[in-house]
Amino acid sequence: MNAFRAILVRDLRLALRQGGDAAAVVLFFVLAASLFPFGVGPEPNLLARVAAGVIWVTALLAVMLGLDRLFLADHEDGSLEGMVASPAPMLVIVLAKCLAQWLLSGLPLVLATPILAIFLQLPAEGLPALLGALLLGTPTLVLVGAIGAALVLGARRGGVLLALLVLPLTVPVLIFGVAAADAAIAGLPARPHLLVLGAMLLAALAAAPFAAAAALRQAVE
């Protein structure tokens, strides 16, 4: 737990000192979602139908923006080698870095969602389900992305390779995230979709740190 807390606090402090990466993720999320009404038209019923999908797609892309740098800075300055050689399990280190990444990129997106929901005319009854889906889905995206970030570490054009590896794996999260909001809007229970998202999160928590840790050890060797 001491190692987990130390890595988490370190990553948060480094990110807050720089500040630009976290702000860029939120700014991209807001600007990208705000462009859709100009493309599909301002008609309220049309916007209400696509609002949940627009928010989820832009959230997915926004989370992807920072994933290629999840381990890159530590790899470049040699910190990653020290982490691998330290007594702390790599599993704990990966989990701490993923939590820091979610706090910096995923949680701000969730907090910004109500504003975008109003702008995109999302019906009020769909907002709680959408927020719940994002709270369950965005950590899953970060955990799955951590595997890709570890696999492409040190590769040229790692961001492009990361997107090619990770995006197909995120489709189920996207589908059930949108379905939860759509079900709530239609007056149907969103609970089954949220339970599936919760199961995906648990599966990612169980598997992703092990896979990412193994890829990081291979990258360092």
Residue 133 has pLDDT above 90, yes or no: yes
Mean pLDDT value of segment 124-131:
93
Minimum mean pLDDT among 19-23, 88-92, 174-178, 204-208: which range?
A: 19-23
At 173 the pLDDT is 95
Pick the most confident of 94-103, 126-135, 152-161: 126-135
Tell me: the pLDDT tens digits for 138-154? 999 999 999 888 888 76
Q: Measured between alpha carbons, how far is 83 from 164 in angstroms, rounded to an integer?
A: 28
Nearest partner of 94 among 202, 11, 173, 199, judged by Cα: 11
Total domains in the chain come to: 1
Any idea of the CA torsion for 120, 126, 132, 137, to the nearest 10 degrees? -60
Q: Measured between alpha carbons, how far is 69 from 206 in angstroms, rounded to an integer?
A: 23
CB 45 within 8 A of CB 129: no
183 pLDDT band, cuts 50/70/90, is very high
78: left (phi over 0), alpha (psi -120 to 50) or beta: left
At 148 the pLDDT is 87
Q: Which domain holds residue 74?
A: 2-220
204 pLDDT band, cuts 50/70/90, is very high
At 81 the pLDDT is 77
12 pLDDT band, cuts 50/70/90, is confident
pTM: 0.90
